[in-house]
A and B are shown apart, each in its own frame.
Chain A
Amino acid sequence: MTDTVKQILDRLYPDGYMGRFGKVYTDTSDFMRITGGDVIILAGEHYLVLRDEMERSFGVEDPKYWVKRCRHLESGERRILKLVFYETFSLSMGEMKIPCYRSPRKEARILDLVRNDPRFMQGFPAADEAGNNVRVLYVVQGKRLDNWIDDLDVDHPTYFQTHLPGILEKFIVSCQAINDLHKMGEKHGDIRRDHLWVAYESGNYVWIDFDYTFSFHENPFGLDIFGLGGLLLYIVGKGFYSHEEVRQLIDRNRKIPALEPEDFLLVFKNRLANLQKIFPYIPDALNQMLLHFSSGSRVYYETMDEFLQDLTTCLKQVK
């Protein structure tokens, strides 16, 4: 007979406080029922559920019921369990809707491929008793890169001179990581600002969350490359700039530059890609890279090799 939660906690976590003793789950299929105070058993290991993970956007917290913040009772360390949730949805990219899928098997496969590679979050797949492909993830001790950059309390010229070269250097390592994934026939699938983190201890950047997938026949890695372009724009600009933000940024002594539609991103048409217009010290080569993602571009990056080659040249120029 399976132990109760109380018995498990008495044995493995006697000093921990738990307000609620819930149920023990060996089958995680009904993940909506699993909540704080429950224990999930996977491959003989015990995970005390603390709460559902939250996704924060626009100041609103949206619970992700299939992602559980847990304590691994055998080690006492925190873990994240991603339970199986098949979801098909449309990802909005500007005016485009892209059919995407959440694929536990894809993320499980990539976790195996990137094991011990510090450029990616770490973890392992573990099947529950019902055969659900649960992913056990180690928590990245760090901070989102965009928040880390945002918190640098310096103006853009100082940021550009002092911080950007180091950030670009690490970003190139992250891009190489994505290139390595592509060469293994895999894609990240959801490259965006909140999925690249700065690890507190090493200062290195770590990719998280690769369970999204999509199917583009002729350009299988296009969405990843576009995501990196957006991230590069954020890194170089220390943020995104809409028409209104450009107006606010330019001080009263400086004329607001003429901005054309082709100066903005191809997909997110309110984000200025031609940053040289507001930060004239940005080198041509770096600005040209950003313009490859703009409405005015006639040429796009098709492979990470091309993207990395240009980015490496740019780094030399800003150093």
Chain B
Amino acid sequence: MDTNKILIAADGSENADRAIDYVTDILQGAAGFHIKLLSIEHLPDRDFFADDTAWKEACVKNREELIAFLAHGKERLTKSGIPEKQVQTDYVESCHSPLAEKPDYCSRGTSIALDILHVAKTQGFKTVVIGRRGVSKAEEFMFGSVSNRIIHAGSECTIWVVQ
């Protein structure tokens, strides 16, 4: 089993920050690990905007923030001693993005958890790390929970849920 490939789900939140910190702490710059910081693009809902121009502006801002988050996460990992060539970032575009550049794989926007697991499976990551948001039972029912869904659906890899 290829246990030295670690995929960190990075959605720009404090929970993702904690997941990056956890991996940094646990690896202590150890050699031989390949790490990928992964963001799945979740577009701002088009219906929240009066017109497509305003929506597109929000999409651009959203993308810029996530890409900056990925870059910052990579910097933290490499500063801890992990060689730069062993840390990658990946940004999976939404299939509905107005900025899409026809990627090989895009997110349909129905489940971020399943998109993360798809990347893990197709790229051979056997460890997936995700920060827990900490939702109540009612919130999980209504809004869903990415970490819980990954736990339930991720039967082919090891899952680290960072508190």
Contacts and interface: CB of A to CB of B under 8 A. Distances in A.
B45 A218 contact: no
A218 B113 contact: yes
B110 interface: yes
A313 B145 CA distance: 29
A218 B145 contact: yes
Interface string A210-247: 00010111111011001000000000000000000000
A267 interface: yes
A109 B131 CA distance: 36
B112 A98 contact: no
Contacts of A267: 138, 141-142
Interface residues of A, number: 25
Contact of A96 (B46, B138, B145): B138
A242 B137 CA distance: 21
A301 to B, nearest CB: 9
A298 to B, nearest CB: 9
Nearest to A213: B47
A35 interface: no
B144 A217 contact: yes
Contact of B144 (A86, A98, A101, A216): A216
Given A86-B50, A94-B138, A267-B138, A219 B45 contact: no
Interface string B36-67: 00000010111110100000000000000000
A218 B112 contact: yes
A218 B145 CA distance: 6
Given A86-B50, A103-B48, A105-B47, A217 B141 contact: no
B151 interface: no
Contacts of B45: 101, 213, 215
Contacts of B109: 217, 220
Nearest to B147: A218
Interface residues of B, number: 24
Contact of A220 (B110, B137, B141): B110
A31 interface: no
Of the listed residues A96, A218, A219, the one surrounded by the most CB atoms of chain B closer than 10 A to its CB is A218
A291 to B, nearest CB: 13
A99 to B, nearest CB: 10
Given A98-B142, A266-B138, A217 B112 contact: yes
B113 A96 contact: no
A13 interface: no
A213 to B, nearest CB: 5
A223 B144 contact: no
A65 interface: no
12 contacts: A93-B138, A93-B142, A96-B136, A101-B45, A103-B48, A105-B46, A215-B44, A215-B45, A217-B112, A222-B141, A222-B142, A226-B141
Given A88-B48, A93-B142, A218-B145, 10 more contacts: A96-B139, A96-B142, A101-B47, A213-B45, A215-B48, A216-B143, A219-B141, A220-B110, A266-B137, A266-B138
